[in-house]
Chain A
Amino acid sequence: MKKLEYIYEDGSHKWAAVARDPEKPGFLIDTNEYLVLNGGEALLADPGGMEIFSAVFSAISAEVDPYTIRHLFASHQDPDVISSLALWLDFNPELKCYLSWLWSSFIPHFGGTAETFVAIPDEGMTIPLGNLALEAIPAHYLHSSGNFNLYDRKAKILFSGDVGAALLPSGEDGLFVENFDRHISHAQGFHRRWMGSNAAKLNWCERVSRLDIDMLCPQHGAIYRGEDVKRFIDWFAALDVGSGIKE
């Protein structure tokens, strides 16, 4: 069963991870959902797929009043990211969903009306949450062509979506990366095949390495902490991506 775990707490300002679920059937990719709370309201980053909605909703509601969730943030358009949208809107029709402008006419196929979406321009934007200004950081072409990370300057947390994702074998269920070298071997194939552009990758590494980051939180796999954040960025910068193209 999915469980909500706090990974950052400073008064009413909190980050919680609804981490991957060892009991989930193997044909669905496992995901992490992140809840950012501040001043009585919350934002849910990458709410997840329709099939796991009840697990995510229950895990959150066990700890937090789900009506405090006012905003959804979808890093990109994939079904594992946002196909639960219609169900979230069944629960609360007033929810707003932040999403790259690229997908604002695609995602309504999952649900929502013209009022539901806030289109993020290519250069990103700030997303207010209580007295906090979260930042949508461009991560285009990694892997989606309209893709954003979410940065919390105060908590020093970067939600990185599919960047940093690892497809971990069963048994490796820890919330955080404990052994970088062993962990990254499960991330390599994913990054080489899903990520399409070396130029986009270097541009992202350059910008993100200038941010102050304590935790880099991917949508799949474990969270990078402390030194592992820099290790990951360096590893990614050196990795050749776009492996789907065969000479």
Chain B
Amino acid sequence: MEEISDNTASQASDLCRVVKANEDIKKVIRISSGVNLVALNAMLTAKRSGERSRGFAVVSSELRVFSRKLEGAMTGLGALIFELVRDAAAMRKQHHERRHLLNIQARGQQMRELMEPVLARMDERMHKTGGEIGRDWHRLHIQLNRVLQLCETGGSLSRSAKIEAVYGGDMTATLKQVANQIEETVNEIFSTLKLLRTQLAE
């Protein structure tokens, strides 16, 4: 029983952590829809510069695939966050109800006996919810690592774009600019996700 009452602080922080993580996820989703635009821009630029930038065109169409995958993965993260909010809120509610039951239990021997099975059931429920929350966090970590791995692909795409830009002839300057844009966006996603991972590890 003590164990559960000591969990109040951790429940409060569960919700706060979820809110913080969700803000980061929203930020990454915003940026990754930007990647799609950058990729589209890169494809159009490559098309304009014709035969010499075939390699650049291939990289940019790969980049579009990447941005779509990233969006999907981020939606998955969002769904996990939703589950965490649901379970953390359920835990808060159960904790609130438990406090009322403890109030009764404190009113002497007869009430203690009456409340014993009720509190036992409540503790069992809270234990279950606590386990659920633990699993939610675990799944969130796994999904986050998956997204980070995906971002490695984004990183190598941005490096390839830079190399391909060199073969762009008179379009090289423009292609380099686009390649830099790609690099910046991918880096921003990377650093936000890494920040999120450190926050979750705290």
Contacts and interface: CB of A to CB of B under 8 A. Distances in A.
Most A CB contacts (10 A, CB to CB) among B104, B110, B118 go to B104
A91 B118 contact: yes
B48 interface: no
21 contacts: A50-B100, A53-B100, A54-B103, A54-B104, A54-B107, A58-B111, A61-B104, A61-B111, A61-B114, A62-B110, A66-B114, A86-B93, A87-B97, A87-B100, A87-B101, A90-B97, A90-B101, A90-B118, A90-B122, A91-B101, A91-B118
Query: Majority SS of interface residues in chain A?
Result: helix
A50 B96 CA distance: 10
Contacts of B121: 90
Interface string A53-73: 110011001100010000000
A91 B121 CA distance: 9
Interface string B82-126: 000000000001000100110110010011001000100110000
Contacts of B110: 61-62
B100 A54 contact: yes
A62 B108 CA distance: 10
A216 B101 CA distance: 32
A86 B98 CA distance: 11
A86 B97 contact: yes
A91 B114 CA distance: 9
A86 B114 CA distance: 17
A66 B110 CA distance: 12
A50 B97 CA distance: 9
A58 B97 contact: no
For this complex, into which size category does the number of interface residues on chain A fall?
10 to 19
Contacts of B114: 61, 66
Interface of A: 50, 53-54, 57-58, 61-62, 66, 86-87, 90-91
A87 B104 CA distance: 11
**4 A-B pairs closest in CB distance:** A54-B103, A54-B104, A58-B107, A91-B118
A227 to B, nearest CB: 39
Nearest to A67: B114
Given A90-B121, A91-B118, A57 B97 contact: no
A58 B111 CA distance: 7
Contacts of A53: 100
Interface in B117-142: 118, 121-122
A86 B96 CA distance: 11
Contacts of B101: 54, 87, 90-91
B118 A58 contact: no
Most B CB contacts (10 A, CB to CB) among A61, A66, A90 go to A90
A120 B107 CA distance: 36
Nearest to B121: A90
Nearest to A93: B121
Contacts of A62: 110
A66 B100 CA distance: 16
Nearest to A65: B114
A230 B122 CA distance: 47
Contacts of B100: 50, 53-54, 87
Nearest to B117: A91
A170 to B, nearest CB: 24
A57 B104 contact: yes
B126 to A, nearest CB: 11
Nearest to B105: A54
A9 B37 CA distance: 80
